[in-house]
Amino acid sequence: MSALVSELRAILGRRNVLSAPSELAVYDCDALTVERRRPDVVVLPDSTQQVVDVVRTCRRYDAPIIARGAGTSLAGGCLPTPGSVVLSLTRMNRIVDIDLRNRMAVVEAGVANLRLAQALVGTGFHFAPDPSSQGASTIGGNAATNAGGPHTLKDGVTVNHVLGLECVLADGSVLQLGPVVRPDQLDLVGLLIGSEGTLAIVTKLWVRLTPDPQNYRALRATFATVEDAGNAVSHIIAAGIIPAAMELMDQGVLSAVEAAYHFGFPPEAGAVLVVEVDGPEVGLDRQQQQITELCQRFGASEVLQAASAHERELLWKCRKMAVGATGRLSPSYTIQDGVVPRTRLPEIIRRTAEISQKHQIRIVNVAHAGDGNIHPILLFDERDREQVDRALAAGREILEACIALGGSITAEHGVGVEKLGLMDRLFAPADLDAMRQVREAFDPAGILNPGKLIPAKTES
């Protein structure tokens, strides 16, 4: 490893190659995955050519490469493997171009999602994917897991907003896909997004810009139970209304948010649904009225409308800071990411409560409820191994319940290492073999993020 470190320093300079234990400590985990693994070395390139040089050098040493953005991932997708080099893309953080005429922007992989959003203020356009971690998460990282966010219910997740990619392959060659693609070409952009750095290292993205809506209506509906809120969600969608966002928070999350930020939630609320519709002014009042009536039909004790842009901003602030606020409830927590058909949302909420009781692990809930994407937050103390084991078992059982209800083990956090053991529950052996063949075609030596996403084939 010392020879590899020396060569990497010759390429990048000493300050851009980290190898001291104190420097490596912050790269041994992601945002919430329980497991920790310290890398052997971390490199911080600031150009595509430097990424190419690092990849070619690592390949000569058979050193695994773990591409990493801001480390906000939640399933262990950027955890190091033994003998690995973590390639951090955070210094590749330039907004290369904003092309309003063609409704696209060109950004390097390390650009924070929020930074692009701020750069677009006043232009009449926005980048639709808005994960709750957007203040820190990078657009390259969003692409790695195909992240979504509250406002992707109507407009779609990251893959629907990426027009092209520049990426470095495992042999050190540079591949540009798009932004203009012929109809007869394979959708390699769609293949690479969500591949968690196992097929290529994305260095630059061409992203679609969406026109700002003419206006908004944002509502907050208060329910006695999470199940009542879940039923309201199902019936709003069944009525043919597709909100821009529809987010659910249960009593546990609400109490933490209220203690931290004092938003004025009713103390008796069992759940709150935040619903936003947007678009042309004509029709918004009618949709608002329909949503209000449906919420009331399913037990909402009050439905309040944000009366100003400031109130709307506060509503979304409380939702996006909800997960962080749960740090007040427990020394440690982890968050799951399952998805079910919208009509099964009340069932998975009920099943999560049963699993919580079975494993004696407190679980509080936030959800991108409009698309059936649940984010149960499991509270425990990581200093107590027995609590950790119970939390992990409960998390696995929730994901198994999602599969049983016709859903999936991830909607936007990815598979990483945390969910590898469930892939054979979700896919047939032939499907997994096809995935392995694609991976081998891109990376025959297997040096890009090994041990993630696709489980190794077991001999029968």
Check the CA dihedral 108-110-114-115 and report its sign: negative
pLDDT at 265: 85
> If you average pLDDT over every residue of the chain, what do you get?
94
424 within a domain of the structure (yes/no): no
Look up the pTM and report it.
0.94
pLDDT at 459: 60
pLDDT in tens, 140-176: 999 999 999 998 899 999 999 999 999 999 999 999 9
Check the CA dihedral 440-443-447-449 and report its sign: negative
pLDDT in tens, 34-52: 899 999 999 999 999 999 9
Please return the burial class of 238, using the count of CB atoms within 10 Å of its CB with bins 0-12, 13-18 and 19+. Answer: exposed
Q: Which two tokens stand for residue 81?
A: 């493997």
Hey, which residues does 125 pair with through a beta bridge?
A: 211
Residues 303 and 289 in one domain: yes
Residues 159 and 99 in one domain: yes
429 within a domain of the structure (yes/no): no
115 within a domain of the structure (yes/no): yes
**Number of domains present in the structure of the chain:** 4
User: What domain range includes position 235?
Assistant: 215-324
Residues 307 and 351 in one domain: no
pLDDT in tens, 309-368: 888 988 888 888 888 899 889 999 999 999 999 889 989 999 999 999 999 999 999 999
Domain boundary among 25, 60, 88: 88
459 within a domain of the structure (yes/no): no
182 pLDDT above the threshold of 70: yes
Residues 131 and 65 in one domain: no
134 within a domain of the structure (yes/no): yes
Residue 72 contacts residue 90 (beta carbons within 8 Å): no
Averaged pLDDT, 449-459 = 90
> CATH number for the domain including 137?
3.30.465.10
440 within a domain of the structure (yes/no): no
Residues 312 and 219 in one domain: yes
pLDDT in tens, 370-389: 999 999 999 999 999 999 99
Please return the burial class of 437, using the count of CB atoms within 10 Å of its CB with bins 0-12, 13-18 and 19+. Answer: exposed
460 pLDDT above the threshold of 80: no
Domain boundary among 324, 346, 381: 324
pLDDT in tens, 393-409: 999 999 999 999 999 99
410 within a domain of the structure (yes/no): no
List CB contacts of 240: < 8 A, sequence separation 6 or more: none
pLDDT in tens, 300-320: 999 999 989 888 988 888 888
> CATH number for the domain including 232?
3.30.70.2190
260 pLDDT above the threshold of 90: no
pLDDT at 125: 98
Residue 241 contacts residue 287 (beta carbons within 8 Å): yes
Averaged pLDDT, 71-84 = 94
pLDDT at 267: 85
pLDDT at 110: 98
Averaged pLDDT, 422-442 = 97
Please return the burial class of 166, using the count of CB atoms within 10 Å of its CB with bins 0-12, 13-18 and 19+. Answer: buried
Domain boundary among 258, 291, 324: 324
274 pLDDT above the threshold of 60: yes
Residues 52 and 35 in one domain: yes
Residues 188 and 260 in one domain: no
